C-alpha cells in the first residue's frame, strides 16, 4: 500500500507520530498531514477465523481462497492476507 502526499505528490516518503490509537503519517517533503494509519493488526471479520489476527492464521488454503474469491475485501485486509500468504 503506497502512501501519497495529496499536497506535493511525494510517494512513501513520510514519518509517523503516535497519537491516540493511530500512527499519523506526515510528509517528509512538505510536512503536511497525510493520513492516519491504524496501530492494531488486521483481523478476519468473517468466516471460521472471525476475530483472529490475520498474521496468526496458518491455513494457507483458506487465505488463498479468501484472497481470490472475496472481491469486497478492504485494501488493508487484502494486503495483510497477501503478506501472510508470502510468509507461508
Q: What are the residues whose beta carbons fall under 8 Å from the beta carbon of 21, sequence distance 6 or more?
A: 38, 39, 40
Residues 6+ apart with CB under 8 A from 50: 44
d(CA 76, CA 88): 18
pLDDT tens digits along 56-68 = 999 999 999 999 9
Residues 14-39 have pLDDT tens digits of 998 887 767 889 999 999 999 888 76
Is the pLDDT at 1 greater than 70? The verdict is no
What are the structural domain ranges in the chain? 1-40, 47-87
Q: Evaluate if pTM is beyond 0.75.
A: no
Apex CA 59: angle with CA 58 and CA 60, to 5°? 100
* SS3 category, 23: strand
Exposure on the CB side of residue 43, measured as CA atoms within 13 A: 9
Amino acid at each position: 500500500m503506497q502512501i501519497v502526499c495529496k499536497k506535493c505528490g511525494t510517494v512513501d516518503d513520510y514519518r509517523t507520530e503516535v497519537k491516540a490509537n493511530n500512527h499519523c503519517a506526515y510528509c517528509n517533503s512538505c510536512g503536511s498531514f497525510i493520513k492516519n494509519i491504524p496501530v492494531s493488526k488486521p483481523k478476519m471479520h468473517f468466516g471460521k477465523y472471525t476475530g483472529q489476527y490475520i498474521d496468526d492464521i496458518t491455513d494457507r488454503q483458506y487465505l488463498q481462497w479468501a484472497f481470490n474469491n472475496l472481491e469486497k475485501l478492504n485494501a488493508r485486509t487484502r494486503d495483510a492476507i497477501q503478506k501472510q500468504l508470502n510468509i507461508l
